[in-house]
Chains A and B, each alone.
Chain A
């Protein structure tokens, strides 16, 4: 009897909350924000849904709306969507160029506040409107999946440094460190490309690194990284080096930061006659010199912009009790750098 009552209660109580059946909801998988043209509203947001068809194709569907808050946008979008909108599957957030310059913090905060949004969401800036970016037709697995995978494999094996929503928020809140985001561009109706890195001061975009600097940027920012770089040799020969492992160490003293970078790599391609060991030596030397030169240039550039994506301030703080970040802001401007790079080429491929 007792058990019967309990069983009945279980049945009764299971109706307490709303059901959300996967086929009957719209899962927001990507979102883009631009500045609104109408000055009354703050943002123009675009929400991307992926509809999975029975024949395994995916239809990209976007809805746009304007508003002052992220919730306003969701409300507008819900008005247009035939099914309830849920945010739990968000994978990608793109910010348009004007918005990035004006500040993205409010939106990042709203992502963080939403319990159903994960920390692994990729956040990126776009060249051209975020709306156009989400409106393309990329790949066969849906736009969001396409761009998500694009960023992910570039982080894992190529030149985009580690980034996601958590790292963005972490850098934003961390004193003595500034955030950065990958920058994307829609190059054709079916193509998206990584075009650089957006550098932020607090939450406002202040500079853009071109693709050619990304290799060095990643070496400076990521503790361990992989990446690719072409080395020019004499006589116009070229060698493509892939760094398998790299590691950086930063030592910071009173007014000087010395950075040592260790790269272990392989040669992927070589356009000269014979890849003799002397050539490998020159490749190593040239790459070392290049890394040292370019890294220094980047560091000076950051200094001029007054930003610190590497996090020298944070490192400095770790060494001093009662650290004064206001004073550090001035000190950073006069901080001296030197970069030491050590390259080891381990393999040169299967032919000699």
Chain B
């Protein structure tokens, strides 16, 4: 069965992959990843970030190789290896993954609002309003989702500068001595970076929507590089700003750093920052819901719009039950682990399988 190619009017320019990947990577993880990696590798953890970033480049290269070989997205790749039925069955797992991903993002963000701004905010009603917005965007089609990703990255970009206030109160001696931790500790820290770093795997899902996929590869790599640098620089500033024991108590170190910001027209900058973070979260949720519904369409042959309602309904029906720090933390850990398994273990395996089958098919032709 030959698949229908995506019509050109629905495709996106190669450079937009940069915004898609980056806006998917940067989300809730940034608010508090510093503590998690510092628990393992102390203040050497910035090395772990660079290392993890380096590994991701290899994975991105694999993703493009897979896409190129099978000429389509992850479902095509699975069909290529396992045939129609088993390929689709295996792919249905990812529907669950992306539903869980969007759930984690929304719930964690609501938690941030509840802790930092409005303790009495209702989880359900906020998520409900947020989901209406997401559904509205996704109904506009993939190109609208990409547009959200673009603005969700460019508009809040100024927030990076606000961390400059912390530099004045930083002591970069904190980072010395370098290499005070074993390689094993550094690697565990790299592993724990995964929740913060995942998001680049989405290329595998919208591959057919890129106009000239080959040309977009450099943009994907550039996106990963930029994210890595942002994470590293932010981690270094954080480490210099907090004493090590102090950081171990900060659940949202990035937000706590905003407490030092002083502006004549605003007393507490966190309120502006968190409100702006909404814009960063939006493409995260939109893209993951879009992918989940697209997978539903591809696997079960159901209309994508129906799929969207199914996903949103799923998220909204469980979000109310995640009501404590502990549960949210468990969910975050869980999704981080799943993301790690998917990106760093499953994708290389898939890559190997695709390459193997390719050779096999070539052999048959001869």
Contacts and interface: CB of A to CB of B under 8 A. Distances in A.
A17 to B, nearest CB: 4
B169 interface: yes
A313 to B, nearest CB: 11
Interface stretch (A138-146, A227-235, A314-322): A314-322
Given A119-B259, A169-B246, A18 B118 contact: yes
Interface in B85-125: 115-118, 120-122, 125
Nearest to A90: B267
Given A119-B260, A167-B169, A174 B126 contact: no
B121 A115 contact: no
Contacts of A149: none
A322 B115 contact: no
A334 B260 CA distance: 37
B121 A173 contact: no
B242 A170 contact: yes
A9 B260 CA distance: 36
Contact of A319 (B122, B176, B268): B176
A174 B259 contact: no
Interface in B232-269: 241-246, 249, 256, 259-260, 262, 267-268
B268 A118 contact: yes
Nearest to B170: A170
Contacts of B346: none
Contacts of A336: none
A131 B262 CA distance: 28
Nearest to B178: A321
Given A6-B136, A115-B270, A166 B169 contact: yes
Contacts of A115: 115-117, 270
Interface in A1-29: 6, 9, 13, 16-18
Nearest to B126: A16
Contact of A174 (B129, B243, B267): B243
B132 A118 contact: no
Contacts of A315: 173
A170 B270 CA distance: 20
Nearest to A89: B267
Contacts of A6: 132, 136
Interface residues on A, range: 20 to 34
A314 B173 contact: yes
Interface in B183-226: none
Contact of B120 (A9, A18, A169, A321): A18
A175 B42 CA distance: 14
A318 B121 contact: no
Nearest to B177: A321
A17 B118 contact: yes
Nearest to A177: B243
A6 B132 CA distance: 8
A13 B262 contact: no
B268 A13 contact: no
A320 to B, nearest CB: 7
A116 B129 contact: no
Nearest to A167: B169
Contacts of B129: 9, 13
Contact of A166 (B122, B179, B249, B260): B260
Contacts of A119: 256, 259-260
B268 A318 contact: no
B59 to A, nearest CB: 32
Interface string B122-139: 100110010010001000
Most buried by B among A16, A116, A170, A320: A170
A88 B132 contact: no
Nearest to B180: A321
B260 A118 contact: yes
B121 A17 contact: yes
Nearest to A119: B259
Contacts of B270: 115
A249 interface: no
A102 interface: no
Nearest to B176: A318
A30 to B, nearest CB: 15
A174 B116 CA distance: 26
B34 to A, nearest CB: 15
A119 B242 CA distance: 12
Contacts of A89: 267
A80 to B, nearest CB: 23
Contact of A170 (B117, B121, B246): B246
Nearest to A15: B125
A212 interface: no
Given A18-B118, A115-B115, A119-B260, A321 B179 contact: yes
Contacts of A322: 180
B259 A9 contact: no
Interface string A156-173: 000000000011011111
A173 B246 contact: yes
A120 interface: yes
B121 A16 contact: yes
Interface string A81-96: 0000000110000000
B115 A170 contact: no
B267 A88 contact: yes
A318 B177 contact: yes
A320 B246 contact: no
B337 to A, nearest CB: 29
B243 A173 contact: yes
A6 B131 CA distance: 12
Contact of A116 (B243, B249, B262, B268): B268
A6 B126 CA distance: 14
Interface string A314-349: 110111111000000000000000000000000000
20 contacts: A6-B136, A16-B126, A112-B249, A115-B117, A117-B259, A118-B260, A118-B268, A120-B259, A120-B262, A166-B169, A166-B259, A166-B260, A170-B241, A170-B242, A170-B243, A173-B242, A175-B245, A314-B173, A318-B177, A321-B179
A-B complex: 9 closest residue pairs judged by Cβ atoms:
A318-B176, A174-B243, A119-B259, A173-B246, A173-B243, A173-B245, A17-B118, A119-B260, A115-B116
Given A16-B122, A315-B173, 16 more contacts: A9-B129, A16-B125, A115-B115, A115-B270, A117-B259, A119-B256, A166-B169, A166-B260, A170-B242, A172-B246, A173-B246, A174-B246, A317-B177, A318-B173, A321-B177, A322-B180
